[in-house]
Each structure stands twice: as structure tokens, then as C-alpha cells.
Amino acid sequence: DGGITQSPKYLFRKEGQNVTLSCEQNLNHDAMYWYRQDPGQGLRLIYYSQIVNDFQKGDIAEGYSVSREKKESFPLTVTSAQKNPTAFYLCASKEAGGFETQYFGPGTRLLVL
């Protein structure tokens, strides 16, 4: 899992509640990514950030929000607008420039109560 940590490992959300998933990296990577993985499915991109204080929507950004105030941190908030939040959430990071490999954290499993 490299130098990327995600917390918590499991997270429970009540109806109408916003929850925030943490992602921290000590790899000095500029780019960070959030993916959602549903059972038996591939990864779908939620948001990504190439530099501090800047981020772009991915393919399924609705119901999610992010911030990138520090290079090493890229928290993801699952808002109450996300009606089907139960999934496995993966954070990844990548060096800037021509290095294409992404390094993944261990993931957070979000369940709805």
C-alpha cells in the first residue's frame, strides 16, 4: 500500500448524514485521485487533483466533494445527496510529470445504516 493511508477502514453512515474519508500520502506526490469500487466492478473516478488548491470532477462526482488544501491530504466527503454511497473507496497518488503509475491506499468501506 506504499505511503498512502486511508482512514477509517470501515465507516457507517446514517441517512442524511455527510461523512468524510481521509487520504494522506507521504510520497511527495503532486496528483491524487479518489475512486469508487462496487462489488465485482472496476474502479470509477470520482475526483482528482493535480496540484494543491485545484481539483477536477471525474466520471461520478455527483454527491461527493473534495478539498486539496495540503499536498499530502485529499479528503473526500460523501454528502447526503449521494443516494447510493455503499461501496469501497480507494485513494491513489502519482508523481508529477511523465510518471504514470498510481499508488493506492488500502481503501475505506462505507456502509449505510
Partner 1 sequence: SQQGEEDPQALSIQEGENATMNCSYKTSINNLQWYRQNSGRGLVHLILIRSNEREKHSGRLRVTLDTSKKSSSLLITASRAADTASYFCATDAGDSGGSNYKLTFGKGTLLTVNP
- The answer to whether 68 and 29 are in contact (CB under 8 A) is no
Residue with cell 503509475: 101
Q: Does 48 bind partner 1 (CB under 8 A)?
A: yes
Select from 21-29, 61-69, 77-85, 102-110 the region that touches partner 1 (CB under 8 A).
102-110
The minimum distance between CB 14 and partner 1, in angstroms, equals: 23
For residues 109 and 7, the answer to whether their CB atoms sit within 8 Å is no
Query: Does residue 5 belong to the site contacting partner 1 (CB under 8 A)?
Result: no
Q: Does 7 bind partner 1 (CB under 8 A)?
A: no
Cβ contacts of residue 54 below 8 Å, gap of 6+?
A: 68
109 binds partner 1 (CB under 8 A): yes
Question: What contacts 56, CB < 8 A, 6 or more positions away?
Answer: 47, 48, 49, 50
* Residue 36 Cβ vs partner 1, minimum distance, rounded to whole Å: 11
Question: Does 10 interact with partner 1 (rule: CB under 8 A)?
Answer: no
User: Which of 3, 63, 75, 107 is the binder for partner 1 (CB under 8 A)?
Assistant: 107
Identify the residue among 3, 13, 27, 58 touching partner 1 (CB under 8 A). Answer: 58
**Contact by Cβ (8 Å): 25, 10:** no
